[in-house]
């Protein structure tokens, strides 16, 4: 078992205290948004130097590249409205931007690798998100509750997908009124809590798009799975995130990062409302499996005593989210190689991810 030190990402939307508290370290005033436990070059994990290896080493130096990336995520404010590509879209976009000579670290670079980014998020406390485009009836109900009369009319006449495109594009495509018509479309007379939250941080009338999406509130242990093309924005909370080993993101709003609406709309699934909640199955008195179409498996283990595991897949990652079990304490992670057996003793919640 290799204990790991994750790569910390200090994005502006991060919580200043949640992740430092989990790691039992002093907050340093910066927003701690994510801790990456994986091999992606934008944030590779280190093997803990207390293991007395000959030299500091990355996890990838020891085990090669993982197909998945595990993160601890803490959002104090909404993330950008975004989506992720399929493998085919990622390979095509990556090759196109390479051929155009766009540097990998360029601000306007969209595809930083050639892989998909399927994504599961498991709530560690109450976690809120906008996830997927709402059905016609749900969108109309939410518009009515918010007093968004023009937007409701647009949905009635043109459908939810067209309303999303029009609202995010910043112009009313079916009106000759120009900007005034678009502002009418974005008018909300009774802001919902989500819209109030979005506008408080971004002061953007496109926050009305929340009325056309599913608002999901997860209790601890509940999860969402986002396939390629699912439009989403995490709003607030602390979670374990497991995804494909990729950092490809198409953004549409609520960010100061690069926005490319053409690419966003080329990837986003706007016409297929989905239920993205993950089904759970108890497989033992202490273990629960998360069942969905992800290319990785995720399980939650509630320890009170001894926990034994023999890794049967090529790569397994363990992340402790509460308590402690031997060398694995809250906020810590470890890698277990195929065929390796471990035994941990303690009272803890541990998630295992394997592929």
Find the domain containing 289 and state its range: 279-354
Q: Is the pLDDT of residue 126 over 70?
A: yes
- Based on the fold, state whether residues 300 and 247 are members of the same structural domain: no
Distance CA 254, CA 203 (A): 9
Q: Is the pLDDT of residue 175 over 60?
A: no
| Residue 202 Ramachandran class (φ > 0 left, ψ -120 to 50 alpha, else beta) | alpha
The secondary structure of the chain, three-state, reads CEEEECEEECCCCEECCHHHHHHCCCCCCCCECEEEECCCCCCCCEECHHHCCCCCCEHHHHHCCCCEEEEEEEECCCCCEEECCCHHHHHHHHHHHHHCCCCCCCCCCCCCCCCCCCEEEEECCCEEEEEEECCHHHHHHHHHHHCCHHHHHHHHHHCHHHHHHHHHHCCCCCCCCCHHHHHHHCCCCCCCHHHHHHHHHHCCHHHHHHHHEEEEEECCCCEEEECCCCCEEEEEEEEEEEEECCCCCEEEECCCCCCCHHHHHHHCCCCCCCCCECEEEECCCCEEEEECCCCCEEEEEEEEEEEEEECCCCEEEEEEEEEEECCEECCCEEEEECCCEEEEEEEEEEEEEEC
Q: Is residue 224 one of the residues assigned to a domain?
A: yes
Q: Is residue 193 one of the residues assigned to a domain?
A: yes
Q: Is residue 104 one of the residues assigned to a domain?
A: yes
State the pTM of this model. Answer: 0.93
pLDDT tens profile 291-346: 999 999 999 999 999 999 999 999 999 999 999 999 999 999 999 999 999 999 99
Distance CA 324, CA 100 (A): 49
Between residues 176 and 66, the one the model is more confident about: 66
pLDDT mean across residues, the chain: 94
- Based on the fold, state whether residues 314 and 252 are members of the same structural domain: no
The residue count for the chain: 355
Total domains in the fold of the chain: 2
- Based on the fold, state whether residues 346 and 270 are members of the same structural domain: no
CATH of the domain at 218: 2.60.120
Distance CA 170, CA 166 (A): 6
pLDDT tens profile 196-210: 999 999 989 999 999
Of the residues 242, 276, 310, the one at which a domain ends: 276
- Based on the fold, state whether residues 251 and 104 are members of the same structural domain: yes
Distance CA 63, CA 208 (A): 46
pLDDT tens profile 304-314: 999 999 999 99
Distance CA 135, CA 274 (A): 9
- Based on the fold, state whether residues 263 and 301 are members of the same structural domain: no
- Based on the fold, state whether residues 259 and 339 are members of the same structural domain: no
- Based on the fold, state whether residues 225 and 331 are members of the same structural domain: no
- Based on the fold, state whether residues 220 and 241 are members of the same structural domain: yes
The average pLDDT across 10-21 equals 97
Of the residues 219, 247, 276, the one at which a domain ends: 276
- Based on the fold, state whether residues 203 and 318 are members of the same structural domain: no
The average pLDDT across 73-101 equals 97
CATH of the domain at 341: 2.60.120.10
Q: Is residue 53 one of the residues assigned to a domain?
A: no
Share of the chain above pLDDT 90, in %: 91
Residues pairing with 240 in the sheet: 72, 122
Q: Is the pLDDT of residue 220 over 60?
A: yes
- Based on the fold, state whether residues 288 and 198 are members of the same structural domain: no
Q: Is the pLDDT of residue 172 over 60?
A: no
């Amino acid at each position: 078992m290799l204990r790991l030190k994750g790569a910390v990402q200090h994005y502006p939307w991060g919580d200043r205290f949640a992740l430092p508290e989990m790691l039992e370290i002093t907050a340093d005033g910066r927003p701690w948004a994510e801790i990456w436990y994986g091999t992606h070059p934008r944030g590779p994990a280190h093997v803990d130097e207390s293991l007395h290896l000959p030299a500091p080493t990355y996890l990838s130096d020891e085990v090669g590249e993982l197909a998945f990336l595990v993160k601890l995520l803490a959002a104090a404010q909404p993330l950008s409205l975004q989506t992720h590509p399929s493998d085919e879209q990622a390979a095509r976009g990556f090759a196109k931007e390479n051929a155009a000579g766009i540097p990998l670290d360029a601000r306007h670079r969209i595809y930083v690798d050639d892989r998909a980014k399927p994504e599961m998020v498991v709530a560690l406390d109450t976690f809120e998100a906008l996830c997927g485009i709402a059905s016609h009836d749900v969108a109309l109900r939410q518009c009515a509750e918010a007093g968004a009369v023009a937007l409701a009319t647009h949905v009635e006449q043109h459908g939810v997908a067209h309303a999303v495109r029009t609202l995010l594009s910043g112009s009313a495509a079916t009106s000759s009124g120009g900007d005034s018509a678009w502002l009418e479309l974005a008018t909300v007379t009774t802001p919902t809590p989500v819209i109030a939250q979005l506008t408080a941080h971004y002061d953007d009338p496109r926050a009305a798009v929340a009325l056309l999406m599913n608002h999901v509130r997860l209790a601890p242990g509940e999860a969402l799975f986002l396939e390629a093309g699912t439009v989403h924005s995490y709003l607030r909370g602390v979670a374990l995130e497991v995804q494909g080993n990729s950092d490809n993101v198409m953004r549409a709003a609520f960010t100061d990062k690069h926005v490319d609406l053409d690419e966003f709309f080329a990837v986003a699934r706007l016409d297929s409302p989905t239920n993205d909640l993950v089904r759970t199955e108890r497989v033992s008195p202490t273990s629960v499996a998360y069942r969905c179409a992800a290319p990785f498996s995720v399980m939650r283990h509630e320890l009170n005593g001894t926990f034994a595991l023999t890794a049967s897949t090529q790569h397994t990652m363990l992340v402790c989210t509460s308590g402690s079990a031997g060398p694995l304490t809250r906020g810590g992670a470890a890698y277990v190689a195929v065929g390796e057996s471990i035994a941990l003793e303690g009272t803890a919640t541990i998630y295992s991810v394997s592929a």
